[in-house]
Amino acid sequence: MQTKRIYSDESGEGQEILRAIRHSRVGITPESPLAFNEEEMSWSDFSNGLFADTLMPHFIHINQLVSQECLKSVIVQDEFFLDDLPEKLSDRLRAGSESVFAAREGARGMRFLRKLKEKSSNCSFTVAFVVNLSGFNIPLANGIISYAFMEWMAGKNRRRFPLENISECEKLFFNESQQCSEKITKVLAKHLSNSQIVA
């Protein structure tokens, strides 16, 4: 039975999640909304719908393929994923991937991300972000919360907060995402049912 470390929070105060968000998002600033856009739906509807039902399962599956370094499978699965989405969402996720590639250009320890850009620069933001996370060795649940934060931040009306004040963004995100971790736990349990999950 495979053992997979999905969560890490030594202090119990959420500091590991904040650290994951800060490490994984450094330099990544999508210019426009990704899948979530607050002008189209509420964060609650998005996180309980498209995020939980479609984006998270794709994130988990891609994370497993990345851990096995199966680049070809990553690219094929992402194409299937993008083809199944409405064109508007697919286009936004494809455009967002460039922000990940640009942020990690020339960074050490990002060999797999460089290969992804070389073979599939038009991939989804979801895939580029998962590959980016692997370079930071971030546990799966923390990584999903980091991804949720990126979706939330990109889809919000940016006039509500300056990006320089990341701590204010984080507070707002946690206030609006109280049920997020519970939902993530349920989705992880469903998709990692053959694994022994270590907290």
Q: Which residues contact 154 (CB under 8 A, 6 or more apart)?
A: 30, 32, 33, 34, 36, 96
- Residues 38-73 as b or e (16 or more Cβ within 10 Å = b): eeeeebeebbeebbbebbbebbbbbbbbbeeeebee
Q: What secondary structure does DSSP assign to 19-74, as a single string?
A: HHHHHHHTT---SS--S--TTTS-HHHHIIIIIIIIIHHHHHHHHHHHHTT-HHHH
What sign has the CA pseudo-torsion 57, 60, 64, 69?
positive
Token pair belonging to 40: 């189209």
Per-residue pLDDT in tens (0 to 9) along the chain, 199 residues: 343 444 444 444 455 566 666 666 777 888 889 999 999 999 889 988 999 999 999 999 999 999 998 999 999 999 999 999 999 999 999 999 999 999 888 666 678 899 999 999 899 999 999 998 888 778 888 888 889 988 988 898 655 555 556 667 777 777 776 666 667 777 777 777 544 343 3
Quote the CA–CA distance of 132 and 18 in Å, as a whole number: 17
User: What's the CA gap between 88 and 80, in Å, rounded?
Assistant: 16
pTM over 0.85: no
Residue 159 DSSP class: G
64-68-72-74 Cα dihedral, nearest 10 degrees:
20
How many Å apart are CA 36 and CA 132, to the nearest integer?
A: 20
In 3D space, the residue among 4, 117, 3, 126 whose CA is nearest the CA of residue 62 turns out to be 126
Domains in the chain: ranges and CATH: 2-198 (1.10.4190)
Length of the chain: 199
